Amino acid sequence: MGVKLLLVVAVSLVSFLSLGNSSSSVSYDKNSFIVNGQRKILISGSIHYPRSTPQMWPGLIQKAKEGGLGVIQTYVFWNGHEPHQGKYHFEDRYDIVKFIKLVQQAGLYVHLRIGPYACGEWNFGGFPVWLKFVPGISFRTNNEPFKSAMQNFTTMIVNMMKTESLYASQGGPIILSQIENEYGPVEYEVGEPGRLYARWAAQMALNLDTGVPWVMCKQDDAPDPVINTCNGFYCDYFTPNNASKPKMWTEAWTAWFTEFGAPVPYRPAEDMAYAVAKFIMYGGSFINYYMYHGGTNFGRTSGGPFISTSYDYDAPIDEFGLLRQPKWGHLKDLHRAIKLCEPALVSGDPTITSLGPSQEARVFKSNNGTCAAFLANHDQHSFAKVVFGEMHYHLPPWSISILPDCKNTVYNTARVGAQTVQMTMTPVGEGFSWESYNEEAPSYDENMYTVVGLLEQINTTRDASDYLWYMTEVNINQSEGFLEYGYSPWLTVFSAGHALHVFINGQLVGTSYGSLENPKISFSQGVHLVAGVNQISLLSIAVGLPNVGPHYETWNAGVLGPVSLSGLNEGTRDLTWQKWSYKIGLKGEALNLHSSSGSSLVEWLQGSFVAQRQPLTWYKSTFDAPDGEEALALDMSTMSKGQIWVNGHSIGRHWPANKASATAGCSFCNYAGWFDERKCLGSCGEASQRWYHVPRSWLRPTGNLLVISEEWGGNPFGISLVKREVGKVCAQMYEWQPQLMNWRLQSTGRINRRLRPKLHLSCGSGGKNITSVTFASFGTPEGKCGDFRQGSCHAANSYDVFNKSCVGKNSCTIDVTPEVFGGDPCADVMKKVAVEVVCSNIN
């Protein structure tokens, strides 16, 4: 016990040292949070620990820190921690204490959103499925069974954090907590019981006495001292419900999630930076990027339904843990500029001056006289020339310039100085050698679980599997007209969702599926039936349980009917109320085919017998881990739908056959103007998700077991293992950025050398160097990365400059001044440099 006590003391001492004052407390007023006695503008980012591996965590946290973040925000995922009632899991990807301690070691703070409702496109919004079956329960309202379960879990998490001394009040990194999540809109619908529940939740949280503030996001009536906060694409308009609370933006959406069947949303860095700069300019003092690293919905953790396995979110750190450039770099530059303004920003209200119809200046002054200014041009279409402090500034449309000394612009949200990196997915290895195992569609058997009528799916499976078989028999009389005249009777199946495969006498005859907006299915098709007994087997598939919506715990899935057969002599026969047999899960799941022990129990077909384009097929192969450290993925483009496992770990659901329908946002996307999740879209007309992340840490050097289940047929020989690596790197920058500098300084040439624009190129940490320069022009180049062109003005030695300074190096820096390029190629013209280089392996 003595040793344990010593250890506890030692651990607290380490946390004490890393975060300063052990009596550190967190307080707030309307201007900002005050942490350890210091006022702070807090820049935070969401990284959800189970959406990456523990081996990835240190790198992600480090990249967040280098990106200028001071806080990491995460939900707590109840269903991951208590998958079965009373049976807890805090290992591996669910080792939340380890995650928080890593954040602490990096010197960052934590915002812990305990919820325990998470939403987050996570299965069932984070609630364990068993919770639905607690007698008398009703989620997220004034319901005793629910409140008691919520209180138990919340208390357990808080106590765990306290035992580990993780609250800032104990010298730990957690400076904030969250109870519930966006309950305000639900409360509005639920009415009085909702209001009572919200007050209860706040009080229950406060009673836990964490010593740090609680927030409730989207909860306008959050009772004091709980802070109500804003979530959205923009939050500058938001005001907290009490003048003593700081203005917080707990979810600044960096883009949006992807659904199977829909295009992939992205959000331009310029607009993201504009939204954040505007929030700070309008008095905000806490901003959290949701997501900063989105990661992967491994296993069956994605919610929805129809949320894709990738939760990339177009976040500054991509799904694979790599920097997304220029977004990461452009936001890093923004954070640096905000930091320079911090003393003035936290000191009180700004002076607001109109600079034009859609232009304004906000000037913040600290008590000791430091001055910081934000100049905004909210016009979506035009540049603005404004006068501020007797100087002139040129502001691009929909942009904000930051002047930490009220004179010099160090940053403009629409001027991206950070490099752009195009990532490539390069096949590695020989290709897979496959074996296959085919499972049959089961048929009606009254010895199975058999009842009259159709059962709701989630009540039946309790989400132990995505799959539920509905099986029945249909007797066809010899005298049926369709047999004689050769037409097909018509089978109609209504399902509450989410996907359905219809098998008649063991043959797949059709497939149908819904979407996130409308998960319901109506299948209607002519089917081939024979005289005598016919087996109808319906494979109903849930693709993630709902995570949001009023009382989503009551939403149904599965074949609820009616099911009917028409075109018979009797007209239409209703099959809904006949006897149906049920089977939960696929045979391969019961056999544990995804594991090495399970897969060795059955006989697999090899060589030319390997099945292709065949439903209900399992594939297996072994492979060696490719050398190097690049992130890996499986290119699944030739497959349809199923699940993937590597060495028994579930990579998630694949569904490349669900193509992204093209919509308006697929064409050109201008950064300027209000953003929403439909504005900027990619992968249109293609698979919503083609690549599936295979974490390096799940691999051994050799003999890795890859198992894939395929529901409706694919070609496994098209699958390849790919590595994600830096391909082209581009950068653009204006000489001396004259449009950003004030004119007087520019004309007198008195710009401090430090402020001169420098262009940086880097191949990152993957062991690559710049091997060639594919475009370089100082002058008036046009186009964008991958598609640059020379303009009418071009310095002849542009290529030479980069060839000399960059080729053969991992990174290089160039001053963007005419002298560097051998003199001015076109005086009196605003010039910039654009460059594109290729990064390749050193050896």
Active site residues per annotation? 182, 251
> What residues from 118 to 147 belong to the interface with ligand GAL (CB under 6 A)?
119-121
Instruction: Decide whether 51 or 794 has the Cβ nearer to ligand GAL.
Output: 51
Q: Which residues contact 532 (CB under 8 A, 6 or more apart)?
A: 475, 476
257 binds ligand GAL, rule: CB under 6 A: yes
> What residues from 181 to 200 belong to the interface with ligand GAL (CB under 6 A)?
181-182
3-state SS of 56-102 is CHHHHHHHHHHCCCCEEEEECCHHHHCCECCECCCCHHHCHHHHHHH
Closest-approach residue to ligand GAL (CB): 119
Strands 174-179 and 109-115: parallel
Retrieve residue 84's tokens. 């079965």
Q: Is 639 helix (H, G, I), strand (E, B) or coil?
A: coil
Q: Is 103 helix (H, G, I), strand (E, B) or coil?
A: helix
DSSP labels, 364-406 = EE-TT--EEEEEEE--SS--EEEEETTEEEEE-TTEEEEETTS
Least Å distance, CB 233 to ligand GAL, is 11
Query: Which stretch, 113-121, 343-351, 417-425, 627-635, contacts ligand GAL (CB under 6 A)?
Result: 113-121
546 binds ligand GAL, rule: CB under 6 A: no
Task: Please give the C-alpha separations between residue 199 and each of 131, 193, 517, 699, in angstroms, as whole numbers.
Answer: 22, 10, 32, 48
Q: Which residues contact 329 (CB under 8 A, 6 or more apart)?
A: 323, 417, 418, 419
178 binds ligand GAL, rule: CB under 6 A: no
Instruction: Decide whether 114 or 119 has the Cβ nearer to ligand GAL.
Output: 119
Instruction: Decide whether 75 or 388 has the Cβ nearer to ligand GAL.
Output: 75
Least Å distance, CB 456 to ligand GAL, is 25
Longest Cα–Cα distance of the chain, Å, equals: 100
Least Å distance, CB 368 to ligand GAL, is 39
Query: Which stretch, 114-122, 387-395, 593-601, 796-804, contacts ligand GAL (CB under 6 A)?
Result: 114-122
231 binds ligand GAL, rule: CB under 6 A: yes
Least Å distance, CB 260 to ligand GAL, is 15
Retrieve residue 152's tokens. 């138990």
Least Å distance, CB 362 to ligand GAL, is 28
Instruction: Decide whether 94 or 257 has the Cβ nearer to ligand GAL.
Output: 257
Query: Which stretch, 117-125, 552-560, 586-594, 716-724, contacts ligand GAL (CB under 6 A)?
Result: 117-125
Q: How many residues bind ligand GAL (CB under 6 A)?
A: 8
Q: Which residues contact 682 (CB under 8 A, 6 or more apart)?
A: 263, 264, 265, 266, 666
Instruction: Decide whether 255 or 416 has the Cβ nearer to ligand GAL.
Output: 255
Residue 69 to residue 216: CA distance in whole angstroms: 22
Binding mask of the shown chain, residues 397 to 416, with x at each position contacting ligand GAL by CB under 6 A: --------------------
Least Å distance, CB 126 to ligand GAL, is 9
Instruction: Decide whether 266 or 398 has the Cβ nearer to ligand GAL.
Output: 266
Least Å distance, CB 128 to ligand GAL, is 17
Query: Which stretch, 115-123, 199-207, 448-456, 635-643, contacts ligand GAL (CB under 6 A)?
Result: 115-123
Retrieve residue 184's tokens. 């305000």
Alpha helix (H) residue ranges in 395-478: 457-461
Least Å distance, CB 244 to ligand GAL, is 25
Contact assessment for residue 25 and residue 19, using Cβ atoms and an 8 Å cutoff = no
Residue 183 to residue 542: CA distance in whole angstroms: 26
Least Å distance, CB 297 to ligand GAL, is 12
Instruction: Decide whether 251 or 271 has the Cβ nearer to ligand GAL.
Output: 251
Query: Which stretch, 13-21, 47-55, 116-124, 430-438, contacts ligand GAL (CB under 6 A)?
Result: 116-124
Instruction: Decide whether 291 or 416 has the Cβ nearer to ligand GAL.
Output: 291
Task: Please give the C-alpha separations between residue 746 and each of 56, 392, 750, 830, in angstroms, as whole numbers.
Answer: 45, 11, 7, 12
Residue 28 to residue 821: CA distance in whole angstroms: 52
Report the candidate in 68, 731, 733, 740 with the shortest Cα–Cα distance to residue 399.
740
Instruction: Decide whether 37 or 549 has the Cβ nearer to ligand GAL.
Output: 549
Contact assessment for residue 277 and residue 334, using Cβ atoms and an 8 Å cutoff = yes
Retrieve residue 690's tokens. 């083609």
259 binds ligand GAL, rule: CB under 6 A: no
Binding mask of the shown chain, residues 288 to 317, with x at each position contacting ligand GAL by CB under 6 A: ------------------------------
Binding mask of the shown chain, residues 457 to 476, with x at each position contacting ligand GAL by CB under 6 A: --------------------
Interacting residues with ligand GAL (CB under 6 A) = 119-121, 181-182, 231, 251, 257
